[in-house]
Structure 1
Amino acid sequence: MLLPRLLLRNAFRHRLRTSLTIVGLVAAICAFGLLRTLIGAWYASADASSSTRLVTRNAVSLTFSLPLSYAPRIRAVEGVNEVSAAAWFGGIYQSERNFFPQFAVQADSYLRLYPEYVLPAEQKAAFLKDRQGVIVGRKLAERFGWKVGDSIALRGTIFPGTWTFTLRGIWHGAQAGTDESQLLLHYELLNESLRLRAPGRADNTGIFYVGIDRPDDAALVARRIDSLFANSLAETKTEAEQAFQLSFVAMSSALLAAIQAVSVIVILIVMAVMANTMMMTARERLPEYATLRALGFRPGFIATLIMGESLLVAALGAGLGMALTWPAVDLIASALGNYLPHFRIAPATQLQQALAALVVGAVAAAWPAWQMSRSDIVQGLRHVG
């Protein structure tokens, strides 16, 4: 028990210096955690993707549609067990600030492809029977205070007009990474409306979600689907759902690289501050270390004192920084709304914070510990008084 008490007393011998160092560590560890959480949120949709789902879209761009008639031909491809059409709806709820994803889907087949959307049986049945009905994720319902049976009015942008729906169900995710911030409506309702208002836009869809039997056959099935529509007016590009999601992430690759670099720079800066603190501390105590050496203490004990003090200060700063990361993440998540629905701290991020603090404490003390343990006793004693 003597060594921990000695480390604690040494660490707070200069309370102001130690307190300021801990404040710097808290800020750095918290900032590091927020930046890593931001990066994780960007990749969350890709990480939550299923290996048994493919996405088929127009080979030119997502802005170009595909004929709905492709669905039965894709379904007939060997290795495919399910096909569902989906289209981005893009309506506005009350104001542009209330953004959230909205998709028109072929409800029955879509829900079979996404078993991670867990709906009560009666709500699922009500949704499937009512083409005017919609279902939403739990987080989206909580955001606007929606309850089953509520009427939801959306102002169309891609599909003009005012669309009024009835909320028939609220799903929760079977997994931690499942998106609970979307609204799903019936594709058939949208298509019927287009047939009346804009026949040229009817019977087309944005993408097809494709269920496959074996994840190992994903590349082979994708080639089979694309070869089926080669040299047609609407050629396709089929890829794994994760690759499809990562294509959106790739659009921000430069920004993500910058964020990753900043997260490392933050740690390097606080490491330099910590190293400077430990060097100042070691120089001030040179006569004390020389006295301990003269009394017979081994160099390893001197190194342990310096390293232990540095790690203790780093641990205190890391603990407070990690604790503050939780409310900071919650605050930012509420401000972001549905722009980053997966903005939440992960266990891996907290582990990275702890490891970063450990590295800072160890590296900052390495040089002064080595230097003081090898210092000349006589030279050290000369500084007494």
Structure 2
Amino acid sequence: MFKYLPLLWANLGRKRLRTSLTLASIVVAFLLFGLMQTLRVALTGSPELAGLDRLITMHKTSFIQSLPLAYLNRVKGVDGVLVASSQDWFGGMYQEDRNQLATFAIEAPTFFEVYSEYQLPPEQKQAFLQDRSSAIVGKLVAERFQWKVGDTIPMRSNIWTRKDDGGNVWPLKIAGIYEASNGDNQSIYMHYEYLNESRAEIRDMIGWVVVKVSDPDRSAEIARNIDALFVNSSTETKTSTEKAFIQGFANQMGNIGKLLTMVAAAVFFTMLLVTANTMGQSIRERINEIGVMKTLGFSGRGVTSLVLAEAILVTAIGGLIGLGLAALVSKGLSAAVAQFFPVLGMPAATWGIGAVLIVVLGSLAAALPCAQAGRLKIVDALRKT
């Protein structure tokens, strides 16, 4: 088939304007597909990166409602729980309101046991654990603001106020700069004890509990056992896998996956119609040539294969250009919206899905022209003028 590539390329160049417009529609379709995949990752925090052995215990009613601190030790005692660590949302802003940073108050001693993918030098980790007023920051956010270890940054909270002066600024000394293999290098982690001792409101309350289980296959059982501890209490809990927690948080804005699938389907359907129309018109213009090819010995199957290859070729060119542009655009956007979307970028799986779509859509677009070319008789073809 490769020896026919010059022929396929020549056929695409017959009507350059028509081919260019068809390519443009394909490029736009795959560009939008790549950007929608990027948007899905940004809005969901990429559930695929969630730990398989982690559960999240939160308030049964809402994510924004707190749990008593005493719940943490009770969760740690459940059979199958290796370690549990609390987290609280701080709502951090740096210097200006537009610099909103994902800031969490954590139980520091157990945090690194739950999140082993967060790595930093041992001396920085030790300094963080020993100083309650310190924090660790992600590599990317440190580079963005040119922070270094030892700097003290004033983090302003839009939720909590200090009991000593009524202000909402917490000075945090940077004890370390971490790098996470899961892609979240934009967050800030401070000590829960520092926040709890300093804030004026609702002391001894936590946001949620992150649980690391001994056996991921028992996750559903362990989740039920945790929730059973607090059933019929004034503060009941809901425990789910970390992936379900992230996805559920994203779905508060609606079913992101369903919405993006519908948009992608509409875009690709339009592209399919354009490509099919182009291929059909191209075949009608080349009926005489197809008759000559069959006269020279090309079988119906051979002619059909060439038509199919032509459709897949034009779809592949447009698809690869579109996905390449999507990757470049998503990379350019990552720095601009990093404070809102810590995990932003076109997932690698998009290229694999795109390759499948290229073959499927190219084949569908060529289905009718292939049937026409395959059934065409030599006499009928040569009779056409």
TM-score by length of 1: 0.92
How far 1:273 moved relative to its partner? 0.7
| Letter of the 1:162 counterpart | V
SS at match of 1:251: helix
Instruction: Tell me what 2:374 maps to.
Output: 373
Structure 1 stretch 40-49 or stretch 158-167: which is displaced more?
A: 40-49
1:66 aligns with 2:71: no
| Letter of the 2:222 counterpart | V
| Letter of the 2:197 counterpart | E
| Letter of the 2:170 counterpart | W
| Letter of the 1:104 counterpart | A
| Letter of the 1:144 counterpart | F
1:171 aligns with 2:173: no
How far 1:45 moved relative to its partner? 4.1
How far 1:2 moved relative to its partner? 4.5
1:191 aligns with 2:191: no
Instruction: Tell me what 1:326 maps to.
Output: 327
TM-score by length of 2: 0.92
CA–CA distance in structure 2, aligned partners of residues 295 and 228 of structure 1: 81
Cα contact 1:29–1:357 (8 A) shared by 2: no
In the TM superposition, what are the counterparts of 1:247-266 in structure 2 within 5 Å?
Answer: 247-266=248-267
Cα contact 2:40–2:46 (8 A) shared by 1: no
SS at match of 2:177: strand
In the TM superposition, what are the counterparts of 1:331-350 in structure 2 within 5 Å?
Answer: 331-350=332-351
Q: 1:294 to 1:83 in 2, by over 3 A?
A: closer
Q: 1:63 to 1:11 in 2, by over 3 A?
A: closer
Deviations 1:151-187 (A, max 9, x none): 211222211221111111111113xx34211110011
Unaligned runs of 5+ in 1: none
CA–CA distance in structure 2, aligned partners of residues 267 and 339 of structure 1: 29
Q: 1:315 to 1:241 in 2, by over 3 A?
A: closer
Deviations 1:271-310 (A, max 9, x none): 1111111111111111111222234432222222322222
Deviations 1:86-108 (A, max 9, x none): 11111221222212211111111
CA–CA distance in structure 2, aligned partners of residues 368 and 45 of structure 1: 41
How many residues get paired?
Answer: 378
How far 1:242 moved relative to its partner? 2.3
CA–CA distance in structure 2, aligned partners of residues 64 and 326 of structure 1: 38
Instruction: Tell me what 2:164 maps to.
Output: none
| Letter of the 2:316 counterpart | A
CA–CA distance in structure 2, aligned partners of residues 366 and 340 of structure 1: 42
Instruction: Tell me what 2:160 maps to.
Output: 159
| Letter of the 1:185 counterpart | M
Unaligned runs of 5+ in 2: 162-167
In the TM superposition, what are the counterparts of 1:231-270 in structure 2 within 5 Å?
Answer: 231-270=232-271
| Letter of the 1:310 counterpart | A
Deviations 1:2-30 (A, max 9, x none): 42221111221222222222222212111
Cα contact 2:44–2:249 (8 A) shared by 1: no
Instruction: Tell me what 2:185 maps to.
Output: 180
Could you tell me the percent identity over the aligned residues?
Answer: 38
